[in-house]
Amino acid sequence: MEFWFEFASTYSYPAAMRIGKLASEAGAPLEWRPFLLGPIFAKQGWDTSPFNIYAAKGNYMWRDLERTCDELGIAFRKPTVFPRNGLLAARIACTFAEAPWVGDFVRGVYVANFARDEEISDPTVLGSLLSNLGHDASAIVESAQASGAKAMLRAQTDKAVEYGIFGSPTVRVDRELFWGNDRIEAALRWHARRRLHP
């Protein structure tokens, strides 16, 4: 089960907080797949989040997100900057996608953005997050900014487009896409069904 996500994305926050536990309970190995929505939105003629472009939709989303987090018991504070630039965080998550700590890092970045209103594009914010997880922050940040790491994230974003992904979060199971925090359960049901009837 692949979890495709962009760090700036609002509904990806509750999704990222939930999916690790849900996948584990379902016996579905989870792959963390960060990608960038910016280039995808740009191709649709959007230079920012559609939630900023379409006011009614944006107003609704913030209220709905607040209610959603409230129901799930997840802390939420509306960020003062939206969307925040998640490029460096995505490069780190992409480079270290196989590391056992990647889930904790991803959740930490989302909490920083959507519960603590921190500037996740700031390397010192990400650095202290990594340090708190017990890692050598500067070594990690440095390797995530190497040209190979940059190319890896670009390739992963291209792969997202190739798969038909257009928004975040998207869960991909067995070539099927499930878009939105509200589709995680459907993705899990699909996974369970495929295990019974492969």
Residues of this chain that bind its own copies (CB under 8 A): 44, 54, 56-57, 59-60, 63-64, 67-68, 71, 161, 164-167, 176-180, 182-183, 186, 189-190
- Residue showing tokens 């994230």: 153
Find the shortest distance in angstroms from Cβ 50 to its own copies: 9
Q: How far is the CB of 40 from its own copies (least distance, A)?
A: 8
- 58 vs 127, which CB is nearer to its own copies? 58
Give Cα separations from 37 to 3, 14, 20 (angstroms).
14, 18, 22
Q: Using CA atoms, how far apart are residues 42 and 45, in angstroms rounded to an integer?
A: 5
Displacement of CA 27 from its chain's centroid (Å): 21
Where would I find the beta strands (DSSP E) of the chain? 2-5, 31-34, 170-173, 176-179
Q: Which is nearer to its own copies, 56 or 147 (CB)?
A: 56
User: Whose CA is closest to 157, among 68, 34, 9, 46?
Assistant: 34
Of the pair 60, 133, the CB lying nearest its own copies is at: 60
- Least distance (Å) between residue 16 CB and its own copies: 19
Nearest-approach distance from CB 55 to its own copies, in angstroms: 9
- Residue 62 CB: number of other CB atoms within 10 A? 15
Toward its own copies, which CB reaches closer, 41 or 105? 41
Please state the closest distance from residue 112 (CB atom) to its own copies, in A. 27
142/176 with CB nearer its own copies: 176
Token duo for residue 152: 């890896």
